[in-house]
């Protein structure tokens, strides 16, 4: 249209409209977009329509959203029950949960405030990493949460010395390796696994209740493995985000 026409879109709208059309196209078609089309979109739109902060938004340290904190609390509640209140409202030092690069950290509030002075792309870790969100946005507890779970766990299992190495290599806990179990542990409940000297080794999910465990044969599974301290050696590169790079 002519330059003075009232229907002529402004410069900001001119750059925003291609972005909306491209976003709609990706939403409809999913990842089936040609590489050339993506390159043209980035070159044409980024300088004006997408500021630099947008590209780091997903990687920035931030408080968890309501849906995210709900997933985190549900996982923790499975292991600690009503003791979750003692984790959230600590009497000694205030702590909070923060999300950074898809990982959830349990950190002191004073440390979190100091971390805000570090550039987002330079911040590697802070506090204790208790879990991470997968590519499908499902939360998963990691071995970093072991100390927190062990201090507040409702249900526990103790593994015999002869079966410690098997569990530390990522295998499920069998009845033959079970030394003790807390009373009234229900099936499908989160349990923390200790050595017979009360050293936390990992955590998992109870396959059977306390009563059923007494009736099982030696080769039956009593706890499904989820994480163990052996991961600090087996999966060392995954402990810190970006170490492989």
Distance CA 126, CA 162 (A): 36
pLDDT at 150: 95
pLDDT at 5: 45
pLDDT at 118: 77
pLDDT at 202: 97
pLDDT at 187: 95
CA 136 vs CA 132, 140, 188, 241: distances in Å: 11, 11, 23, 18
Structure tokens at 204: 């998992």
pLDDT tens, N- to C-terminus, the chain (245 residues): 445 444 444 444 444 444 444 444 444 444 443 333 333 333 333 333 434 443 344 456 788 999 999 999 999 999 999 999 999 888 888 888 998 888 999 998 888 888 777 777 777 778 889 999 999 999 999 999 999 999 999 999 999 999 999 999 999 999 999 999 999 999 999 999 999 999 999 999 999 999 999 999 999 999 999 999 999 988 877 776 655 54
H or E stretch covering 177: none
- In the 8-state DSSP scheme, what is residue 198? S
pLDDT at 132: 93
Distance CA 10, CA 156 (A): 65
pLDDT at 14: 42
SS3 237: helix
Q: Residue 123 in contact with residue 111, Cβ under 8 Å?
A: no
């Amino acid at each position: 249209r002519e330059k003075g026409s009232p229907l002529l879109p402004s410069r900001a709208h001119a750059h925003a409209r291609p972005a909306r059309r491209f976003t709609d196209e990706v939403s409809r078609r999913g990842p089936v977009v040609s590489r050339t089309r993506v390159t043209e979109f980035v070159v044409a739109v980024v300088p004006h329509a997408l500021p630099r902060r947008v590209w780091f938004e997903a990687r920035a340290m931030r408080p968890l959203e309501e849906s995210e904190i709900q997933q985190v609390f549900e996982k923790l509640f499975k292991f600690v029950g009503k003791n979750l209140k003692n984790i959230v409202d600590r009497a000694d030092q205030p702590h909070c949960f923060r999300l950074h690069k898809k990982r959830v950290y349990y950190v002191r509030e004073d440390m979190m405030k100091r971390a805000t002075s570090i550039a987002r792309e330079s911040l590697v870790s802070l506090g204790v990493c208790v879990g991470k969100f997968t590519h499908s946005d499902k939360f998963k507890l990691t071995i970093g949460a072991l100390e927190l779970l062990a201090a507040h766990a409702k249900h526990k299992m103790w593994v015999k010395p002869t079966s410690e190495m098997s569990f530390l290599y990522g295998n499920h806990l069998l009845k033959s390796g079970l030394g003790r179990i807390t009373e009234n542990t229900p099936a499908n409940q989160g349990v923390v696994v200790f050595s017979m000297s009360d050293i936390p080794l990992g955590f998992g999910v109870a396959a059977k209740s306390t009563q059923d465990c007494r009736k099982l044969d030696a080769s039956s599974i009593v706890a499904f493995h989820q994480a163990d301290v052996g991961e600090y050696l087996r999966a060392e590169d995954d402990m810190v985000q970006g170490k492989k790079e």
